[in-house]
A and B are shown apart, each in its own frame.
Chain A
């Protein structure tokens, strides 16, 4: 049995994305969830499956209690860091296809302004225990420092340049400003990127994603019910998660420039029956500029080592051949663990993209990347 076409994203919701929110993470999750449920034309009591996202995600029981859900039939967690959202959609689709439940809520929300920053948070997570024991004491603290050797290796092997990273950052910023609901509002140039301070070589400040507050949520429903619901029908055509070799340590990974999505992408494209050339809009997880370039290669949009040249000349911008992160991504909209990428893809495919709408987009993809290289990809289609 294939999952293709079995599930649809019927509801999307997100809060304003800000820094310094006074709202709790749970409140942000609830606000986004209520919007997504309303968007789907459902009531909170219609939800019969819940997959909370991220380490700040409140447990399913909290939603049952607050929403008065009488018969929750399915709950799960998908701990893949920034790939958790798409992994959750896969889990929801599988549960729906198996007839376990009908409407799965995927809530997310975080208030990082009120808590510890990423460099401290990750060392409390079990999937980082080897890094915490052997690399943290050396001063390898934050994701920027852990991921930078992958980017450096890519540069040394393939001649990838920092100015190519800058192309990604500039495209994301342009989209964020047009989109409106974004933390970053000021335009940047390639030169701004090149003169931004070095954080963890080769990553400069403008290669790094934001720390921001907000909530984003999805409702996934059985595709056969979606036609009768409020919104245009956007189905999950192909979906997969993939885990890299040596998932607990980048240091020990034989091929440092190959992420988990390299295993997932062929499965997702085969399931959907399409190729990268068919994709009209892409929402690609962008915790760092380089991670976008590496995923483009790993998904087959170009060959390994060709990603730097691929993103040149505005290819990722609106009007380019592969409009990417039409919301501004984690680099310029908000760090919402990639849930904002899924929300934006659905909005685009419904034709609700506003100022960043890709004309006539009916087939697109979203990706996730998390922890030390976990990956996930969802190919969605307006039907």
Chain B
């Protein structure tokens, strides 16, 4: 185990519902209360109708792979034990994107459009972060690879 701590989210008023949702395993997406446009990451104003009013909806956590990188060099000591790890950009069914850790072999073949499902995983420091797994594999296959 690494002795260095990983970075923690700096919660704001705008992001608090996202992180509270993460704690209970729900991927929460901000929605304009006036025109209904979904926006992620959360922010103050709707870029469509400029309303300041918003509410939140729970997303399906289903999506497809848009792009990715495999981190081989740890730029932060908190991730020194984790490399190599896959960071995946996901097109969610709801039409916004999410970045998450893809629980797939770092040397495996990936392709855009691959179906994925997300889940939040609670780290040792109590922070819940978004992971994805390839839908064709299922979550059980990668469970054994978890490092902590």
Q: Which residues of A contact B (CB under 8 A)?
A: 117, 119-120, 123, 130, 132-142, 144-145, 148-150, 152-153, 156-157, 197-203, 248-249, 251-252, 256
Contacts and interface: CB of A to CB of B under 8 A. Distances in A.
Given A198-B72, A200-B69, A138 B87 contact: yes
Given A132-B10, A149-B69, A139 B87 contact: yes
Interface string B73-102: 101101100100101010000001111110
> Which size class do B's interface residues fall under?
35 or more
Contacts of B96: 252
Given A137-B9, A138-B87, A145 B130 contact: no
Given A133-B9, A140-B99, A252-B96, A119 B75 contact: yes
Contacts of A248: 41
Interface in B11-31: 11-12, 15, 18
Given A130-B41, A153-B112, A251-B89, A141 B68 contact: no
A252 B100 CA distance: 13
A149 B112 CA distance: 11
Interface string B38-68: 0011010000000000000000000000111
Contacts of B98: 251
Given A134-B18, A137-B7, 17 more contacts: A117-B75, A119-B75, A130-B43, A136-B7, A138-B100, A138-B130, A139-B6, A139-B76, A139-B87, A140-B87, A141-B75, A145-B71, A145-B87, A149-B89, A200-B70, A200-B72, A252-B41
A42 to B, nearest CB: 42
A198 B84 CA distance: 10
Interface of B: 6-12, 15, 18, 40-41, 43, 66-73, 75-76, 78-79, 82, 85, 87, 89, 96-101, 111-112, 127, 129-130
A291 to B, nearest CB: 15
B9 A134 contact: yes
B67 A139 contact: no
Contacts of A142: 75
Most chain-B Cβ atoms within 10 A of its Cβ — which of A134, A149, A150, A152?
Answer: A134
A138 B67 contact: no
